[in-house]
Every structure is written in C-alpha cells, then in structure tokens.
Amino acid sequence: MHLSKTLTILAGSAWLASAAPSAGLSKKSDVRLIKTSPEDPGTWVTEDEKITLTAQGKNFVDITDITDPEVLALLSAPDSEEVTIAARAVTYPTSATRQSIANPLLSQVSTTNPQSWLKTLTDFHNRYYRSSYGTQAGDWLFSTIKTVASPNPAITVTKFTHSYNQPSIIVKIPGNSSSLVIVSAHYDSTAGSSTARAPGADDNGSGVVVLLEALRILSSTKFSPKNTLEFHFYSGEEGGLLGSAAVFSSYKSSAKPILAVLNQDMAGYSPSGKLAVYTDYVDSSLTAFVRVVAGAYIGATNTDKCGYGCSDHASARSNGFPAAYVGDETIKDSTPYLHSDKDAYETIMWPAVLRHSKFVLAFLVEASYI
C-alpha cells in the first residue's frame, strides 16, 4: 500500500486528449514515468526516487509501460467519476442471501495456518520486487499456494511473468459461468531502499495470508461456485502498481467478464476492531455490496479514503473493471510501522486477520452467486 454514474468511454473524451502524458516529456536513461494525481501529466524518476516517494508516504502509479489510451485516460479521471465501462456495469444484491452456505465455511476459519505462513513471509530479508529475496518469496508463495489448492484438482495455479523477476500469481476456481469474481493482495514489500530489511508483516503479508486461508477452506471443501473465482497475488505494487497493471491490461485485451475485484491491502493491525472500507477511486455499487456482506457477517465497518493510486484496485479501475478496496484500519489509526523494518510479525493483531479472513470468504461465497 502507498498511502454514481457509469462512464462509457468515448474516443472524443476530454480525458483522452491528455491520455499520453509522456508525449511532451524528455526521457532520461534508466528512469520510469509516474503519475501522482489525476492532473499530473507524468514525471520521469529513478527507481531510488520511487522508493523515496514511498518512504515519504506519497502515492504514485508507474505508467511507463501503459500504452492503452483508454487506460491512461481513466488514470486521469477524477475520483468523483464512476469509470466502470458501461458494458461491465453490474447490479449487486442489496442483502446477503447465502448464509446457509457461507456460515459453515466461516466456522472453519482460524489463524493457525496464517500465523505459520506469515512467519515465513516475514523471514525473507525483504520482498522487494527487483531483489533476489523478492523472487525467492514469489517461488515460496507459488509452491505454498499449490499445496493449499491441491485438495481440489480443478483449481489451477499459474505464474504471470513480468519484465522484472518477481511474478504475480493467479489462482482459479472454475465455476459454472466464465464470469469472474477476483480477490487480490500484493506480496512485495519495501522499507526505504532496495536492500533494506522489509518484513512487510501488515503491508501486505497479512493480506496474503487472508487470501490463503480463504483458499484453503474453499479448496478443502471443494466449493463449487456459480461464477469463476480468482485469487490474485501481485508483485511490484510498491513500485507503482506494476503487477496488477500488467494483469488487468491483459484481462482488458482479452475482454474478461469481470463482475467484481476486491482488493485486500493490510489486514493485521486494527485498534478499532473494525474493517475499513475505502470509498475513493472505487466502484460505488460494488463498494455498497462490500458493506452489505461485511454487515451481514462481521459487523460494522469504518470508512476512509486512501488517495490516488494507493493500491492495486486502481489498476482494475483504470482498465474499466468494477473494483473495491478494504483494509484493516482508517489511515489515521493504521499501523505506525508502515514501510519500515518494524512492520514485523510481532506487531500483527490476529483478531484482525481472523476478521478479514471471514469477510473475504463470505464475500467470495456471496459474490459467486451474483
């Protein structure tokens, strides 16, 4: 993590007129083009400068490899606009209706496995997306996911490779429909430099183990969804949403029928004891459905805004897919150890991880029947 009306994209959109921010900018060697706000035309920065921005708590999106004018236009769309492409607009339920299916599954959620998984994740020196440690963490995560998914042979686990070494990982539970419901979490970490110790316990090892726990239960019970379910584990989020940008670019090109993307970034530090639902740069209808599910299964939620490009839901949004974002706490009460070597295993509040695991599992069950 860095800290409605439906829009039909038209070639003549005012945003499209400024959709190629690199056009008037002079490129230096070994630099990347980033945006820090919808209005920002783009700035060339070095990798070290990106790391410094993250350490300063400044959000950005790396747009160097984005060539789709529609995506660039939506990255310049203000927060006030609903940018889900009209053909992908979804009508979400206004109440939870699958408790008889979900509750027996939720009773199986525990923190036993998440504690073990998170200990291993945080034992890597860091999970920086361009380091050998980050690649090793990706290899371990891929192997672990395959083990977790193994009780159900219908589940597929694949690596989505990038121009850098750390892969993203995609898990698919096939349903009766090709329509997709996606839950996501990034697994890379950062703490001020490419070589710094960055255990990334809350950001975002906690989100990773929440998804793993939901996958464990759905796999072991051989849950058969109506809609196809996918679990996305992104690399390169701390580098400017790189992994998710590439994945959703591919999905847009393939015209994947995505019903919902729920991003989970930070799930292990919550003094309030309430899940936080973020309301900026998201699909408002999907976010309302997120609140419905949370209210039915885990209780009241907090509300906050996290700013431009704060996590991977922004990549789904900029490709025109309905996206929502939940975290463990509001910004002002979130972990004080973010992006430091103190974001350690020992700081995790396990009741928060348990709460998020139940929520994500409930969301998957409810959304699988949209």
Catalytic residue (choose from 213, 230, 237, 329): 237
Catalytic residue (choose from 188, 202, 230, 238): 238
For 206, list phi and psi in degrees, rounded to 5: -65, -40
For 263, list phi and psi in degrees, rounded to 5: -95, 135
* 186: annotated active-site residue: yes
Catalytic residue (choose from 125, 162, 313, 339): 339
* 203: annotated active-site residue: yes
* 123: annotated active-site residue: no
Q: Which amino acid is at 85?
A: I
| Beta-carbon-side half-sphere exposure of residue 42 (alpha carbons within 13 Å) | 25
Say if residue 58 is exposed, middle or buried (CB neighbours under 10 Å; 0-12, 13-18, 19+): middle
| Cβ–Cβ under 8 Å, residues 200 and 192 | no
- The kind and range of the H/E element at 48 are helix 47-55
Q: Name the E strands within 28-137.
A: 32-35, 43-45, 61-62
| Cβ–Cβ under 8 Å, residues 240 and 309 | yes
For 214, list phi and psi in degrees, rounded to 5: -65, -40
SS3 of residue 14 by DSSP: coil
Catalytic residue (choose from 70, 202, 203, 230): 203
| Cβ–Cβ under 8 Å, residues 313 and 325 | yes
d(CA 94, CA 73): 31
Catalytic residue (choose from 188, 202, 265, 329): 265
* 237: annotated active-site residue: yes
b/e map 103-139, b = 16+ CB within 10 Å: eebbeebebebbeebbeebbebbbbbbbbebbbebbe
* 339: annotated active-site residue: yes
| Cβ–Cβ under 8 Å, residues 212 and 220 | no
d(CA 59, CA 329): 18
Catalytic residue (choose from 125, 186, 232, 356): 186
Per DSSP, what are the bridge partners of residue 157?
Answer: 171
Residues with a catalytic annotation lie at 186, 203, 237-238, 265, 339
